[in-house]
Structure formats: structure tokens, C-alpha cells
Structure 1
Amino acid sequence: MTKRTDQIRLGAFLMATGHHVAAWRHPRAAADAGVNLEHYVSIAQKAEAAKFDMMFLADSQGGWVDRSAPEALARTAQGAGFEPLTLLSAIAARTQRIGLVATATTTYYPPFLLARLFASLDNVSGGRAGWNLVTSAAAAEAQNFGLDRHPEPEARYARAEEFARVVKGLWESWEDDAFPRDRAAGWFADPDKLHILNHKGAHFSVAGPLNVPRSRQGHPVVVQAGSSEPGRELAAATAEVVFTAHQTLDSAAAFYADVKSRMARHDRHPDTLKIMPGVMAVVGDSERHAREKYEELQALVHDEIGARFLARTFEDDRLLDHDPDKPLPDWLEVDGRKSRPALFLELARRENLTARELHLRVTGARGHWTIFGDAGQIADQLEAWFDGRGADGFNVMPPHLPDHLDDFIAHVLPELRRRGRFREDYDGDTLREHLGLPFPRHPASRVALAEAAE
């Protein structure tokens, strides 16, 4: 295995009390963390002081617990939280350098509104915004938008592909120097540097222009989460960062090679895409100590939450009546177009897990890689995936906040720095600069440069 010469990229993937489903029950958890701005600001400032590339907030327009089971929802912290763009706008005012990434679905947002929201966050933050492009996976979301049925994956991804083109087109409504604000001449903007989209497609008709200028980093970094076949193709065509879930280096390396190999078809260089799997790293004085810390959270998982989580993931309520101390039933199958249920089923079959063992494995990190050890052991494992071309970096998922993020910052980061694998300080101010991504020149600028070269 050849040691890479670039450095590991790190995102702080934050949930209110932590990623573990039972984190809110931990005695050191802030009971109101989901709607406590000062809690989030404190965590963001810690991540920024530690020089993380970005902080990332997931989102759903529906929720992961079936609304027909209110008692299950009431046993989670899912019912009380901030809308992520509102939250990140507040955090932007209290931080200076860390990237700010939020999820927004192409399935239920209109593209003009989404383009305007993220362009505004990008300007408010001084070029630190990122949009995590997803197609909604939760069928429950449809009923919040006047629909009886959730669109099938093919329809969602066809909409997403056009959606991404529309959003990028709107972000290019104005060239970078389009606003001279010349009081004497009476020109606030240069009309020759205005580009009206006038998009008419299969899913959208959007005139434009966007009424928000480009930011210091051109436009928000486009992030994509999804590992299905259409998700990989969408990532190769549009994404600059990919969040993904894998359990083994072999799986991660295969995904990495596959997605990057597709980019040539879209006239893109592989280095313009950073692949960052999620990792739940539990740090202790030893591996045994780390596992003991994690078991504190595992002991707080209510059986009903585990059963509901599996039933919803596999979209099969028969699992609610399945004996949790037996393996998953032989009749259980998954739609191959949906990557996360397939990952769970493969894990259960490979390790012969009972239903209870599976839900305890996945309700914490929801299928993401979970590792245990002291600082050196954690660093070894991250390096192995990085040098093995399974990752360009990682989205760090603390099981409990603030303790597990504090542990990672205090112990793992110094070890990675000692090995030369993570930055000592930021090299720039924008999220693109943190990630080593190129500035997206406006199409009109690219044409001008090409003409000048001729």
C-alpha cells in the first residue's frame, strides 16, 4: 500500500446530542440540545478550533419513526430540532473559517428556493457553505407535501439530475465582477454580466435570474449522499464531496474506484471530488475502554426503537412481530436500488446477527463504519482506509456530544498531526480552499479565457 502525500479531510457530522439513537438519555447530554443554539455554537467553535474542514447537518422532511407509532417517536429526540439552514446561518455569525454544510432534498424543494437559500448562506458565511444534495429516502415525507405516494428511485434521481443543473445555472446568473455599484454612472450591476437561465425541462421551468450574487468561493460546494447506482452516476456528474457508508475497506475502495472512474464521462478530473465515508470513532485509553464507553449508550437503546428502525429501513412491518433474538427471516429481501437496506442485510447475513444484534449495530451509526481504540489504533484505521483509496477523508460521527467529539479532538487529532496526516491550521478561508477544490470559474469567464488563448 502506497502512502499518500495529501492530507486527510475531516467533517464534523453533528446531531443534537450525538449520533447514537439513545444519546439523549446519557446523563451528560443536554436535554434541550436540539433547540439550544448555544450548544450548537459551542460544538461548532470546538470543531473550528480543531481545524475541521466543515461541520455537517443532516435533515429529513419526515422523520425516521413511523407516525402511526407516536410512542416510538416519543422515545427519540427526533421531534425537537432546528431547520438546518436557519441554524447554520446563526452559526455563521459566530464562526470564521469552518465550512457549513446542510442537507436539502431535491425531491421536495423547488430549485429556485434552494439555490437562493444556499447562495445566501454562502455569502453570509464568506464562502463557507455546502449543499448536501439528496433524494428523499423516507416515504413519510411525501405526506407532508400533499402526496399520497413517495416517488420511485428512478423518478427521484431523474428529477435530481435536472434539479442540480438548474441550481448550478441559477448560481451562474451573475459573473463574479457583475456588481460595480457605480454611483456616479448609475450602474449598480453590469447588464453584460447577467445571464438569464430560461430553463425548460422535463421537471422544471425556471426563468431566473437568481437575485443573489456569487460568493468568495464562486458557489456553494455541492455534496452528495447516496451509494445506489443512480446515486453514483449523479455524484460523478455533479458532486464535489460524497458522503457514503461502508463497513469494510474492500467495499469502500470499490465504491471509491467506481465513482471516480465515472467522472471522465462527465469531463471531470477525479481530484475534483472528495469521497468521505462516515465513521463513528469511539476513543478510549484502550480498545476495551472504548467499547465499555460505547456500551453505556447501547444499554440505553429501547427495544421498540430498534424494532421500529429495522421495520422502517426494510419497509416491512412484519419485522415488528419477528423474534428479536433470531436472525432476520429468510424471506426478507431488499430493493437493490436502495443502498442502505442492502448494506444492513449484507451485514446481518455475513455476521449471522440476530435482529436485536443488528439493530444495536446500526441504530448508533445507521450503517456507517464504527471503530474502537486508543488514539493510535483509531489513527491506524483511518490511515489504512485513506492510503487504501477507500476515502479522501471522513465525516466524523460522535456517538454522544460533547464527550466523544472532545475525545477525538484531544487524542486522535494530535496523533494524526504527529504523523503528518492532518493540517495544523487552515490554509484559506473558504470551504473550497479547505478541501483543496478548484474555484468554479463562471462559464462566461471560461469562454473568455479560451478565446484569449486562441
Structure 2
Amino acid sequence: MSQAQRQLSLGAFLMAGGHHIAAWRHPDVASDPLDFSQYKRAAQIAEAARFDAIFVADSVAASTDAIASHTSRSVYFEPLTLLSALSAITERIGLVSTVTTSYNEPYHVARKFASLDHLSGGRAGWNLVTSDAAAEAFNFGRDAHIPHAERYSRAREFHQVVRGLWDSWADDAFVHDQASGQFYDPAKLKVLNHHGEHFRVQGPLNVARSPQGRPVVVQAGSSETGRELAAETAEVVFTAQTSLAKAQAFYADLKGRLAKYGRGEDELKIMPGVFVVVGASEAEAREKFEQFQELVEPEVGVALLGRMLGNFDLSGYPLDGPLPELPLTENGQQSRQRLLTELAGSEQLTLAQLGRRIAGGRGHHSLIGTPTQIADELQAWFEGRGADGFNVLVPHLPLGLEDVATQVVPELQRRGLFRTEYRGRTLREHLGLPYPRNPFFT
């Protein structure tokens, strides 16, 4: 595809209240994270702006420490239940959710996403993660988190099983012939009979092959192991990159791994996260952002930092001191730990300053300015081969997303970088991904 033909993809990363850690305290935000109306309005805003997808993250453990009582991140909807509800009040936009491979079973995941794909007419996407929160282990009969290497080994096989289950039936297996009484053609059924290191799954899946062949597979790991798994299995990668140069290096590295798996560059879309605050002027945008920053209690920012670094307790370190040297965690987010350590060192930030710095975008690239300034930066990353699109984070919902949809998106459309109308109905069509053939029925 030529540079002139390329158009970027946009995802709307929805989080209750918004991405800023103090968003729930802002007067324009619903303080209850279980207020469905904020998700409904955000999904409708994103669809009206022709976003490719909305994305919902997840964790299977609640935050219950002292700091958690000062944030709205302790309770949230189970994401597939939420997306199923949103599928009924939207028509085109993709519906992507995080589900961990560490504390689920492949049959459950395959069935739920296939069901969502049918309910939505082909709009489902699975963000495959291995879990960075060690506390999740204690909810599933374990005394400790699964080690990093084992989590990725399990994830690779997990994906293999889920994909095999999604291909249980040929596209035309179900004939629904009322006259003859034949419901499906037995010759077009594949029983998986998987026997591996981590799983034994017979199959078949009790859901027909989905409208887009298979739900889209998304991943967010940026460690060496995560990149290799993404190159082998992912169709979209979410990543946190803080500069164009780093984004370009990541983009080139990941795209360069595809050939050994027999994949072309267009078969994987890389979408860095961007935290966006829009204003009529740069001063207005910064004033909006500072309204949220003023609501951040220093201890809350530092607690968020500790979790992102791999669940370290930083409460005993002075707020005006530097980030202490920490061992590279084996079980947390290794790539995010490196990113934040580099950020603290390059800008000489104190612990409190670093916690406040990540209170909005959690280490993602931040764009605070006018629609033109923001579009300029997105265009530079896109045309400079640092991104195929972006996963957009906003400080508060739904108004922050509405700012992006009504001010930044029209600027991207004027430049010919983003669609003005949907051209397809499925998430694969939005992303420009091919319909996957079923290897069992060629």
C-alpha cells in the first residue's frame, strides 16, 4: 500500500471516568465507575467520529490498599459483559477487551469472544495479556504469581488453542435445511483434540465460526518475549512509546520479526497509546490539564507509580527524592518499568514529580495543545513509520473524548489521514486486515 493510500486507525481507550488518576474528582465526571451511561455516551461519540474500535482494559483483582480508597480504580465492569451491552447500542465500531491468559481457560475465552462477534456482527477483538498484577494470583488458588517466562509459554499455547477452537467449523458448516432436517454438515466439523504442556482441550467450540472469521487478536507486551509472541500471533499491538525515535525503533523491530512467521507487514497494525488534551489554544489545553493535576494527591501518584513499576511499595521513600534503584521485576510489566526508569533519569524527576507526571497517561506519549498541533504530531508518527494508528487516552469521559472527536478527527480527515465514513461493517475491515482462512477446511 502506498504512503498516499495509507490511512491511520484510531482506538478509543475507555476507562471509567477517564484516564487521569484524579478524573473522578473533577466536577464534569461521573464519580461512580459503574455508571453505564458514561460508557454508552463515549461509545456513541467514538462511533460517530468513525473510530475503528473502543477498547476496555481489565484486571481480575481489586486494589484494596489505603491509596485505593482515594481513587476510582477498585471496582469496574467485567469487560465482555460491558461490551455486549455496548454492542446493542452501536452498529459499526469495533469492541476490544483485555482478557488474561494466566487466569482463564481457553475454551471460556474462545466461546465468549465468538459469542460477542456474533452479537455485534463481526466487531470483536481480544487483547491477549499475561497479567502484570501479582494480586490476581490469589483469586485463583495460587500463592504467587506465575513467573514471566511461564506466563508467556502458557499464553502462546493458550492462543493456539483458542484459534483452533474458533476454527472448529467451516464457514458454511451450518446449512439450516429445514426441509431435509439437516442442521449442519458433519464433514465440516473439526474436533481439536489438543494435548499440550499447559492445556488438554477436546473441542469443538459450541459457537459457529464468527462473522469476521475470527475475532481480531490484540497484544500489548513490549518486552523481548512479548514482541516475539506478538510477531507470531497478534494482529494489532498496543504499546507505550514516549518519542518518535523510540516509536520508530519499536515499529521497525516488530515489523522486522514478521517474515520468519510467514507474515507480511500489513498483517500487523501497531497503535501506540497517546494521551490527548485539546484546547482552542495551547494555553487553554494546558489549563485544562492542570485542573486535573491539581487534584492529584502526591501519595496517590506515587502509589500508581509503584504499581506500574511492578507492584513495588514506594511509600517509605521521600517524595522529594529520586526514584530508587529497583530490580527488574520478573512478574510485572518489564517494558513499562524500563520506560519509567528512563523517564525519571532523563528528566531528573523526583518521586512525587514522576508520580504526578504519569497521573494522566501512565507513561504514554502526551499531546496537550490545539487540534492542529495534535494532528501534526500524529501525522509525523504515522508518516514517519512510528505507528499505523493510535489508541487514544483522554483525561475524562465523555467530554475529553468528545473534544478529540469533534476537533482533532476533523483535522485528520481534512488531511486525508482518516476516514469520513465506515467502508465495512467488521473490525477487520476497519483495520484493513484480511479475512482469515480456516486451515482445517481449505
Does TM, scored on the shorter chain, surpass 0.5? Answer: yes
Shorter-chain-normalised TM-score: which range? over 0.9
Cα distance between partner residues in 2 of 1:309 and 1:415: 34
Q: How does 1:106-185 map to 2 (within 5 A)?
A: 106-185=101-180
| Equivalent residue letter for 2:48 | A
Change (3 A) 1:403 1:180: same
CA positional deviation for 1:19: 0.5
What SS does the aligned partner of 2:272 have?
Answer: strand
CA positional deviation for 1:318: 5.6
What SS does the aligned partner of 2:315 have?
Answer: helix
1:99-126 deviations in Å (ceiling 9; x for gaps) = 0000000000100000000000000000
* Residue 397 of structure 1 pairs with residue 417 of structure 2: no
1:319-377 deviations in Å (ceiling 9; x for gaps) = 21111112213x33434871111110011001111111111111221111111110100
* Residue 293 of structure 1 pairs with residue 288 of structure 2: yes
CA positional deviation for 1:307: 2.1
CA positional deviation for 1:41: 1.3
CA RMSD in angstroms, aligned pairs only = 1.4
What SS does the aligned partner of 1:326 have?
Answer: coil
Cα distance between partner residues in 2 of 1:316 and 1:114: 27
1:342 to 334, 338, 345: 338
**Aligned residue in 2 for 1:364:** 360
Change (3 A) 1:100 1:72: same
Percent identical:
57
8 A contact 1:4–1:387 mirrored in 2: no
Cα distance between partner residues in 2 of 1:383 and 1:190: 50
Cα distance between partner residues in 2 of 1:89 and 1:150: 30
**Aligned residue in 2 for 1:450:** none
8 A contact 2:96–2:125 mirrored in 1: yes
1:122-142 deviations in Å (ceiling 9; x for gaps) = 000000000000000010100
What SS does the aligned partner of 2:160 have?
Answer: helix
Cα distance between partner residues in 2 of 1:431 and 1:411: 24
**Aligned residue in 1 for 2:60:** 61
Cα distance between partner residues in 2 of 1:414 and 1:316: 40
Cα distance between partner residues in 1 of 2:267 and 2:206: 28
CA positional deviation for 1:3: 5.3
Cα distance between partner residues in 2 of 1:4 and 1:206: 46
8 A contact 2:38–2:397 mirrored in 1: no
**Aligned residue in 1 for 2:321:** 326
Change (3 A) 1:7 1:317: closer
CA positional deviation for 1:213: 0.6
1:72-97 deviations in Å (ceiling 9; x for gaps) = 11111112321110011011011100
8 A contact 2:190–2:440 mirrored in 1: no
| Equivalent residue letter for 1:136 | S
Q: How many residues align?
A: 439
What SS does the aligned partner of 2:183 have?
Answer: coil
Cα distance between partner residues in 2 of 1:314 and 1:132: 21
Q: How does 1:54-453 map to 2 (within 5 A)?
A: 54-63=53-62, 65=63, 67=64, 69=65, 71-315=66-310, 317=312, 319-329=314-324, 331-335=325-329, 338-445=334-441, 447=442
Relative to the length of structure 2, the TM-score reads 0.97
Cα distance between partner residues in 1 of 2:344 and 2:106: 39
| Equivalent residue letter for 1:368 | H
Deviates more, 1:342-351 or 1:313-322: 313-322
Cα distance between partner residues in 2 of 1:110 and 1:437: 27
1:150-195 deviations in Å (ceiling 9; x for gaps) = 0111000000000000000000000100000112222101000000
| Equivalent residue letter for 2:148 | P
CA positional deviation for 1:314: 3.0
What SS does the aligned partner of 1:324 have?
Answer: coil
| Equivalent residue letter for 2:35 | N
**Aligned residue in 1 for 2:38:** 39
Cα distance between partner residues in 1 of 2:87 and 2:313: 45
**Aligned residue in 1 for 2:18:** 18
CA positional deviation for 1:317: 4.8
Cα distance between partner residues in 1 of 2:283 and 2:91: 38
Cα distance between partner residues in 2 of 1:376 and 1:437: 29
Change (3 A) 1:198 1:78: same
Cα distance between partner residues in 2 of 1:249 and 1:83: 34
Cα distance between partner residues in 2 of 1:310 and 1:92: 34
Unpaired segments of 5 or more residues in structure 2?
none
Cα distance between partner residues in 2 of 1:394 and 1:303: 29
8 A contact 2:247–2:386 mirrored in 1: yes
Cα distance between partner residues in 1 of 2:309 and 2:409: 37
Relative to the length of structure 1, the TM-score reads 0.94
